[in-house]
């Protein structure tokens, strides 16, 4: 037992348990800053949804809750595979770590790809905030249809619907929050993919053992946190007023 | 799942001999992960189903149900996938503190935004959305709403002499 790999225990720690504890605590300290980071975005979302409930409900109804549900399932499965990768690392099975992390990377790229498809759909419909900044503070106040769907793809059916009903004010704010928060979330996922590739490289060198699997554990924490952010994004952006 | 197995508790005990390589970490069984995953999927279906409940019937309960389910899911992920259930008290405190601070931010922010318009004083700028709910007479009538968009273009280029005066009033509030 004592003849373990000498470099596993870094010299500043008394023992492996303290090392593991320190690494876990450090990651959580980072994740708390992430809670505050995404929390600020959710806070802004809450204030503006409180001010413009109809606009948020209407903006949400323009999104496909089915696509969001699909991505939610993809992300939950990826969280499970990461948890299983950590489990394999705890058992010292580096091959299992690689297998589950490859599945996770595939799921993450699937998620980001679907997200890109969704962005494209919304931009084509003319709802992206940068396509509507010319409309002023209240998007619905101006009855002139010229500003709607000003993007290169013309006016989509949804944009015309927004025009026809003047009650749907300020959906620009809804989609600003939507693009900002989901794109930052997707960026976190891409960073996670990079971390998984790094872990796979370590696992190929058989670096993980029951005594040392801290990198897998810590990156797993990061990934589960990204999952939690999406757990809140999904009902708040896709399910306010979904259309069957 | 309701009780913590002794093998999953903190392995380092105060009286234990100091062996730097004695390292027994809690191993969460695969079965637990699968059960949590199944619970998350069921809760996701519940979220979708709850969103299709008629809004007239449940009103504001819609968002409370949605956020409640999301919170349950988040807690499940934190406790089991992120191993906080098996973590040391220090880690638990750090995790809880992060969310407590977020709720402080949320609570203090809404003591402001939620209560604006409850009283006639300092009710914000004239086109404030909550002004519609205030049935009190405006003590100092502001400029008509129709004039406001023109001032954003440039108060200094006003055609009338009163244009700059109205712009200052609109920007500075009352």
Q: Per-residue confidence at B51, pLDDT binned at 50, 70, 90?
A: very high
**Among A43, A73, A79, beta carbon nearest to B106:** A43
Residue A212 three-state SS: strand
A4: left (phi over 0), alpha (psi -120 to 50) or beta: beta
C-alpha to C-alpha distance for A60 and B2, rounded to whole angstroms: 38
Shortest alpha-carbon distance between residue B101 and chain A (Å): 8
| Cβ-defined contact of A43 to B149 (cutoff 8 Å) | no
Is residue B120 pLDDT above 50, yes or no? yes
- At residue B23, the pLDDT reads 66
* For chain A, percent of residues with pLDDT exceeding 70: 82
- At residue A54, the pLDDT reads 86
C-alpha to C-alpha distance for A37 and A29, rounded to whole angstroms: 13
ipTM of the prediction: 0.84
Please check whether residue A43 touches B, CB under 8 A.
Answer: yes
Residue of B nearest to A241 (CA): B51
Please check whether residue B99 touches A, CB under 8 A.
Answer: yes
Average pLDDT along chain B? 72
Please check whether residue A72 touches B, CB under 8 A.
Answer: yes
Residue A153 three-state SS: coil
Is residue A135 pLDDT above 50, yes or no? yes
C-alpha to C-alpha distance for A143 and A120, rounded to whole angstroms: 26
Out of A5-19, A128-142, B94-108, least confident range: A128-142
Q: Output the CA angle B80-B83-B85, nearest 5 degrees.
A: 75
- At residue B27, the pLDDT reads 80
| Cβ-defined contact of B90 to A91 (cutoff 8 Å) | no
C-alpha to C-alpha distance for A238 and B11, rounded to whole angstroms: 44
* For chain B, percent of residues with pLDDT exceeding 90: 41
Please check whether residue A124 touches B, CB under 8 A.
Answer: no
Is residue A76 pLDDT above 60, yes or no? yes
Q: B111: which chain A residues are within 8 Å (Cβ-Cβ)?
A: none
| Cβ-defined contact of A47 to B130 (cutoff 8 Å) | no
Q: Per-residue confidence at A152, pLDDT binned at 50, 70, 90?
A: very low
What is the arithmetic mean of pLDDT over A101-118? 97
């Amino acid at each position: 037992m004592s003849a373990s790999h000498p470099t596993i225990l870094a010299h500043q720690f008394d023992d492996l348990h303290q090392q593991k504890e320190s690494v876990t605590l450090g990651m959580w300290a980072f994740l708390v800053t992430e809670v505050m980071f995404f929390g600020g975005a959710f806070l802004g979302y809450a204030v503006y949804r409180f001010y413009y409930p109809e606009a948020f409900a209407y903006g949400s109804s323009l999104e496909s809750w089915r696509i969001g549900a699909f991505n939610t399932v993809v992300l939950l499965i990826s969280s499970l595979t990461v948890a299983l990768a950590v489990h394999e690392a705890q058992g010292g099975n580096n091959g299992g770590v690689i297998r589950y992390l490859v599945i996770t990377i595939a799921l993450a790229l699937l998620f980001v790809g679907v997200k890109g498809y969704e962005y494209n759909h919304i931009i084509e419909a003319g709802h992206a905030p940068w396509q509507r900044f010319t409309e002023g503070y209240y998007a619905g106040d101006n009855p002139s249809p010229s500003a709607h769907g000003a993007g290169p793809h013309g006016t989509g059916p949804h944009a015309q619907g927004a025009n026809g009903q003047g009650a749907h004010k300020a959906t620009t704010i809804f989609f600003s929050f939507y693009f900002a928060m989901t794109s930052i979330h997707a960026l976190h996922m891409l960073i996670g993919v990079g971390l998984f590739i790094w872990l796979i490289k370590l696992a190929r060198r058989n670096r993980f053992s029951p005594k040392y699997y801290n990198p897998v554990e810590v990156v797993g924490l990061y990934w589960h946190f990204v999952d939690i952010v999406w757990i809140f994004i999904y009902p708040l952006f896709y399910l306010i007023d979904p259309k069957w | 799942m309701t009780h913590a197995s002794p093998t999953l508790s903190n392995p380092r005990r105060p009286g234990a001999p100091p062996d730097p390589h004695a390292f027994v970490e809690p191993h969460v069984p695969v079965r637990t992960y699968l059960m949590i995953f199944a619970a998350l999927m069921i809760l996701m279906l519940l979220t979708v189903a709850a969103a299709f409940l008629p809004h007239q019937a449940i009103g504001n309960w819609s968002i409370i149900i949605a956020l409640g389910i999301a919170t349950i899911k988040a807690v499940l992920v934190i406790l089991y996938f992120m191993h906080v259930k098996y973590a040391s008290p220090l880690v638990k405190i750090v995790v809880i503190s992060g969310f407590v601070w977020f709720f402080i931010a949320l609570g203090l922010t809404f003591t402001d935004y939620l209560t604006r318009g409850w009283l006639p004083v300092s009710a914000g700028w004239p086109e404030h959305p909550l002004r519609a709910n205030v049935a009190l007479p405006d003590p100092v009538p502001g400029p008509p709403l129709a004039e406001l968009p023109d001032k954003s273009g440039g108060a200094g280029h006003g055609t009338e002499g009163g244009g700059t005066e109205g712009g200052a009033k609109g920007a500075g509030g009352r």
